[in-house]
Amino acid sequence: MTRRRAWSVVPYLFIAPAMVGFGLFKLYPIMEGLRLSFYEVRPIARTQDFIGLANFAELVRDPVILKATVNTLLFNLAVTPVQVVLALGLAVLVNRKGRVLQAFRSFFFMPAVISLVVASIIWKLMYAPDSGLINGLLIAVGLPAQTFLTSQSQAMASLMGMVVWKGVGYWMVILLAGLKEIPESIQEAAIVDGAGPGRRFFSVTLPLLSPTLVFVVVADTVINFLLFVPVYVMTQGGPSEATTLLMFEVYRNAFVYTRFGYAAAISTALLLVIAVAVSIQMRFLRVEFEY
């Protein structure tokens, strides 16, 4: 091997650890999941029978999956925009100068550093019908107690409230970093031209924040599609499947009903749904400038 040829191998050696990690922990599980979705897996008998598209055929007829799909889409349509708008509002607020506002940065970010399991348990306790903090406060101000997680009409909204609270601080920090990236002179140029705060926000800040905003929207969407822990801890998908999300169905089919093939098929379908949702977002949120 010539010296030049030997050197040309070096870059590949540098990226090899990352590629091995990607292959083992990302690519292989995806491909294995895809393969399993065409099989009926019996873990006790240790058999795998190829059944073609049967899992997918069952999936489209399964009323629980249909309910979970609708729930997942509704959950995303509500939670992602609310989280992003609130995070943006908070980022703009704490981006202002002032010690008090800077202290609020840590305050708003705090939920992001709490374990999701712990946060789910705390909120479950807060939502408790008789002894919960929220009902205690409602009663204290003369309002009727609510059923929250035990009611079909309120459970999903209650779950959404917790998830919004948990994620908003995290996305705020990302958006704050984006705001800090916008050169001050670009804002000042608009001020000198006579633009007020509102005009400046919509005509300068928001467009220049769009690369960060696109990342936040896409990443938040993916995370919300894959949400599992709060459902598992707070509602187990109930009452009457009111809070069953697709990811929870994956878990239930795999580890409760031991239908690994069917769970893999739901995962594959979920992957496709996410891919479609993200490509729609990327199509409409294209960024065509640099600064």
Partner 1 sequence: MVEVRVENVRKTYGRVEALRGVSLNFRSGALTAILGPSGCGKTTLLRSIAGFIEVDAGRILFDAEEVTGLPPQRRGTAMVFQNYALWPHMTVFENVAYGLRLQKVPAAEIRRRVLKVLELVEIGSLADVESRKPSALSGGQQQRVALARALVVEPKVLLMDEPLSNLDAKVRQRLRVELRRLQKQVGITAIYVTHDQEEALALADTVVLMNQGMVVQTGTPQDIYLKPTTAFAAEFLGVSNQLEGEVTDGKLVVAGQSIPYTGTARGRVTVIFRASDVQMEEPSAPPRGGTVALTGVLEESLFLGAHYRHYIRLADGMVMADSPDLRRPGPFRLVLPADKVQVYGEHKT
Interface residue list for partner 1 (CB under 8 A): 183, 185-186, 188-196, 199, 203-204, 207-208, 210, 288-291
Structure tokens at 184: 């001050």
Tell me whether residue 180 or residue 199 sits nearer to partner 1 (CB atom).
Answer: 199
Tell me whether residue 79 or residue 88 sits nearer to partner 1 (CB atom).
Answer: 88
Tell me whether residue 203 or residue 258 sits nearer to partner 1 (CB atom).
Answer: 203
Least Å distance, CB 207 to partner 1, is 4
Q: Is the dihedral of CA 23, 254, 121, 160 positive or negative?
A: positive
Tell me whether residue 140 or residue 192 sits nearer to partner 1 (CB atom).
Answer: 192
Least Å distance, CB 178 to partner 1, is 14
Least Å distance, CB 209 to partner 1, is 10
Tell me whether residue 112 or residue 182 sits nearer to partner 1 (CB atom).
Answer: 182
Q: Which of 39, 62, 116 is nearest to 249 (CA)?
A: 62
Least Å distance, CB 180 to partner 1, is 16
Least Å distance, CB 284 to partner 1, is 16
Cα–Cα distance, 276 to 64 (Å, whole number) = 22
Cα–Cα distance, 196 to 190 (Å, whole number) = 8
Tell me whether residue 195 or residue 219 sits nearer to partner 1 (CB atom).
Answer: 195
Q: In this structure, what DSSP letter does residue 148 have?
A: G
Least Å distance, CB 211 to partner 1, is 10
- Tell me the residue type at 233: V
Cα–Cα distance, 43 to 47 (Å, whole number) = 7
Long-range contacts of 115-118 (CB under 8 A, 24+ apart): 116/166, 116/229, 116/230, 117/229, 117/233
10 Å Cβ neighbour count for 38? 19
Cα–Cα distance, 56 to 268 (Å, whole number) = 9
